[in-house]
Structure 1
Amino acid sequence: MYLKNKSMEQYVNTKEAMVILGIRSQTTIGKYETDGKIKVYRPFSNRKRYKVSELLKIQRKR
């Protein structure tokens, strides 16, 4: 898991986001993005990253 420092938000890549949400398919996480359930960030180069805090909120709602 990527952590810059304690005062900053944690971001994870797609595979780590899938583990947090219990998703097995990249297609499913893509649908979450399309439906607006998950916001994608690109804070470090052009790679997709997801905020851990947002993923945990989604996980709790399930």
Structure 2
Amino acid sequence: MTENCAKCRFRAKYDANPKSLLGRLWRWHIRFCPGWKKYYSALPQMEKNALAVKYGLK
């Protein structure tokens, strides 16, 4: 599952244009997605920090 989050097309849409409909949908979705939570928790702390800054995560 973790490889799916890293290659997610919706995530790529967000990266390309955060204000696009699919980009905003992806950003909303990661708040509760169990796959994203598993992916994020499995990352090394430095990568977590980078994603937290990039995506405005807490």
Instruction: Compute the TM-score of the two structures, normalised by the length of structure 1.
Output: 0.29
Instruction: Give the number of the structure whose residues are more often helix, by fraction.
Output: 2
Instruction: Give the number of the structure whose residues are more often strand, by fraction.
Output: 1
